[in-house]
A and B are shown apart, each in its own frame.
Chain A
Amino acid sequence: MNQELLLTKRRSMFEEVWIRFLRKPIAVLGGLIILIVTLSCLLAPVIAPYDYDDQDVTRKFTEPNKDFFFGTDNLGRDVFSRLLYGGRISLMVGFVSASVAAVFGVAFGGIAGFYGKKTDNIIMRILDVFMALPQMLLAIVISAMLGTGIKGAIIAVTIATIPRYAQAVRGPILAIRNQEFVEAAFAIDASDSRIILRHILPNVLSPIIVQVTLGVGSAITMAASLSFLGLGVQPPYPEWGAMISAARVYILDHSYLVTFPGLAIAIVVLALNLLGDGLRDAMDPRWKE
């Protein structure tokens, strides 16, 4: 036993997490799906057989076949190519708004949790006001104010989701704030920013990463919902939600126009959820064998 212990190589935290993560095939599958979808959307100009706005009414409403994998829409545009280009918008909106929201949320929640008392009270009361509205509703109102477009959608989703991240980090930071190693850092006269960035933040990194992974998925859905309501990304840009919104008129005769973009959203969000869940399990120290 002792010998075995001596022989085991010491692994860093990330190696540990990585090894535990690899033991969860479903989470790995989720990660792979995200990777493949992201890469193929980035490579859309190379992979896509047509341009996203390549119209040809003579071939409109072609059912899915070997030339047009997912068929063509009312203007004869290739749905598969539009999905690839649209994925760039949907994924970008998701990743950008989730990460920006996380940065602000972590900053607010971190400051509130670290300084406590009055600061905590003020920040949390302000966030309470934003949380008195359901996220989706808040996003709708903000995007109504900002007007349509990709930028508007990103800002709307970002602001609407900031409170969630703040809440997610505030609790753990409050708990860590009173631990001995933080007290020790205070004792050697480390600056507040150093204590927050070097001592506290690394300890709450895993819940943040998990939240962001799950957050990208919900941001994609929210942005798609905004487009569906006619508030977010506008035609001719092929954002997935906007594609469904444009296609719903033809749902009776050409249901594939609605099915494929929706499937794209569902698969990506599902993969992100699987990945997030897997990461949570892998990063939770209570799971350590």
Chain B
Amino acid sequence: MLRYFIKRLLSMIPVLLAVTFLIFTMMYFTPGDPATIILGDQASPEQVAKWRAARDLDKPFFQQFGNYLWKIVSRGDFGISYKTGKNVTSALLERFPTTFILAIATCVIAILLGVFLGILAANRQGSWIDNILRLFGMVGVSMPIFWLGLLLILWFAVKLKWLPVSGWYGPKYIVLPAITMGLTFTASIMRTTRSSMLDCIKQDYVVTALAKGQSDRVITYHHVLRNALIPIITAAGSVFGIALAGAVITEQVFSIPGLGSLMVNAITTRDYPLIRGSVVLLAVSFSMVNLLVDFLYAFVDPRIKAQFSGKTAKRKKVGEEIVE
């Protein structure tokens, strides 16, 4: 099992390096010289040269990238913001928890509601509840997040005055943004849960359990849901990742000072170090979540565990075949 963890952890490194390179390259080749954007057209050539030299911008591309990467790896230093002159790392660390909390709250809502509704729909396959839930799921995935957010603000904050309109000053402020994102993701988790449950309900072991006289409850939660978990975990994992990215939009709707709004502001002011830093941080968190999901798989699916803890080559091979 440990071997599997280490292998997956190591396989993440080249991908993250490549992502950093990709983002660095994209920002490097973005048209427009940052020096003239920041200093203005009136700046003298000496000023521009000095400004560029202070930020490594006069060096060749690969040297710039090397320095950038080295600073991140050795000191966690993402450079200095062009606009504010402050350290990018501290800005990122200041904003990250907000986005993280928002993503977690979103996931909690989406998973609880999605799994519950999915089970409900699967147990009553073909009934009116199932049909209504399917329609709800369809509508849920079709609505743009920012529009849903604005509508919820309109109803629950402006008309009913139950919750604050925007900002980030306490637990009350998390509710609407989390529901906004949570609802859109509930739909996908619900659909996955439903179809995965339906696949499992048809299996022989469910018939066996029925024959043994197990109650519906035990069958649903112990026999079916347990086996249906893997696709559900995948869906839940991808929800967390997408929630991190979706936060970029949601934070904009609700004026939340998170990583997403930091990034959008950085884009509008062309503050490249800040854009790079926030994208890299989001990519790292996204990959970490995917890794966690993989570990969770191994935890729930004994077949994957067997593949890596098997002592003989034969057992390993069998495991591989099953996984494929």
Partner of B151, one of A259, A267, A269: A259
In the complex, the chain B residue whose C-beta lies closest to that of A262 is B147
Cβ-defined contact, A258 with B147, below 8 A: yes
Q: For the complex, is B150 an interface residue (Cβ under 8 Å from A)? A: yes
Alpha-carbon distance A58/B153, docked complex (angstroms): 29
Contacts of A241 in B (CB 8 A): 144, 146
Q: Does the CB pair B153–A269 fall under 8 Å?
A: no
CA distance A139 to B185 in the complex (A): 20
> From A267, which residue of chain B is reached at the shortest CB distance?
B142
B267 in contact (CB, < 8 A) = yes
**Per-residue 0/1 for A120-144: is the Cβ within 8 Å of any B Cβ (1 yes, 0 no)?**
0000010011101111110011101
Residue of A nearest to B243 (CB): A134
Which chain B residues border A230 with CB–CB below 8 Å? 264, 268
Stretch at the interface among B25-33, B43-51, B308-316: B25-33
Which of A11-19, A60-68, A181-189, A220-228 forms part of the interface with chain B? A220-228
Interface pair B18/A140, CB less than 8 Å apart: no
Taking a contact as CB atoms under 8 Å apart, the answer to whether A145 and B150 are in contact is no
B150 contact from A130, A225, A262, Cβ within 8 A = A262
Give chain B nearest CB distance to A14 CB in angstroms: 26
| 0/1 string, A133-168, CB within 8 A of B gives 1 | 111110011101101000000000000000000000
Closest to B18 in A: A129
Residues B1-53 near A (CB distance < 8 A): 14-16, 18-19, 22-23, 26-27, 29-31
Residues of A with C-beta under 8 A to B275: 141, 144
Q: Are B30 and A136 touching (Cβ within 8 A)?
A: no
Q: Does A231 contact B (CB under 8 A)?
A: yes
Distance A252 CA – B144 CA, assembled complex (angstroms): 20
A41 within 8 A of B: no
Asked, given contacts A132-B19, A229-B248, whether A262 binds B151 with beta carbons under 8 Å apart, the answer is yes
Q: Which of B15, B139, B144, B264 contacts A132 (CB 8 A)?
A: B15
**B248 partner, pick from A136, A266, A270, beta carbons under 8 A:** A136
Contact of A225 among B23, B144, B151 (CB under 8 A): B144
**Closest Cβ of chain B: how far from A79's Cβ, in Å?**
15
Contact among B141, B143, B267, B286 for A140, CB-based, below 8 A: B267
A residues in contact with B242, CB < 8 Å? 134, 136
Name A134's contact: one of B252, B264, B286 (CB within 8 Å): B286
Main secondary structure of the interface of B (DSSP, over half): helix
CB of B112 within 8 A of chain A? no
| Interface contact B141-A273, CB-CB below 8 Å | yes
Q: Is the CB of A252 within 8 A of B246?
A: no
* Chain B positions within 8 Å of A134 at CB level: 241-242, 244-246, 282, 286
CB-CB nearest in chain A for B139: A270
Whether A251 sits at the interface, judged by CB under 8 Å, is: yes
The distance from the CB of B155 to the nearest CB of chain A, in whole angstroms, is 10
Evaluate whether A269 and B142 lie within 8 angstroms (CB atoms) in the complex, with A129-B15, A129-B18, A137-B245 already known: yes
A142 to B27, CA, bound (A): 9
Chain B: interface residue total (CB-CB under 8 A) = 45
Which of A128, A145, A221, A251 is in CB contact (< 8 Å) with B154?
Answer: A251
In the complex, residue of chain A having the shortest beta-carbon distance to the beta carbon of B261? A229
**The one of B29, B151, B263 that contacts A145, using a Cβ cutoff of 8 Å:** B29
* Cβ-defined contact, B279 with A141, below 8 A: yes
Determine the distance from Cα of A147 to Cα of B287 in the docked complex, in whole angstroms. 27
B300 in the interface (beta carbon within 8 A):
no
Contact A273 B142 (CB under 8 A): yes
A214 to chain B, nearest CB (A): 10
Whether the pair A221, B144 counts as a contact (CB closer than 8 A) is yes
Residue A98 lies at the interface, judged by CB distance under 8 Å to chain B: no
Q: Are B31 and A266 in contact (CB under 8 A)?
A: no
The verdict on A228 contacting B139 (CB below 8 Å), with A129-B15, A258-B150, A259-B151 known, is: no
B110 at the interface (CB under 8 A from A): no
* Cα(A140)–Cα(B275), bound, Å: 11
Does A111 reach chain B (CB closer than 8 Å)? no
Question: In the bound complex, how far is the Cα of B141 from the Cα of A230, in angstroms?
Answer: 23
Does B318 count as interface, using CB distance less than 8 angstroms? no
Task: Say yes or no: is B176 at the interface (Cβ < 8 Å to chain A).
Answer: no
CB distance from B270 to the nearest CB of A (A): 9
**A142 proximity list for chain B (CB < 8 A):** 26
Which of A132, A248, A270 has the most chain B CB atoms closer than 10 A to its own CB? A132
Neighbouring B residues of A141 by C-beta, 8 Å = 23, 26, 275, 279
Nearest-Cβ distance from residue B190 to partner chain A, whole angstroms: 14
- Chain B residues 132 to 178 lying within 8 A of chain A, measured CB to CB, are 138-139, 141-147, 150-151, 153-154, 158
A229 touches B144 (CB 8 A): no
How far does the alpha carbon of A133 sit from the alpha carbon of B139 in the complex, in Å?
26
5 contacts across the A-B interface (CB closer than 8 A): A125-B14, A133-B245, A137-B282, A241-B144, A262-B151
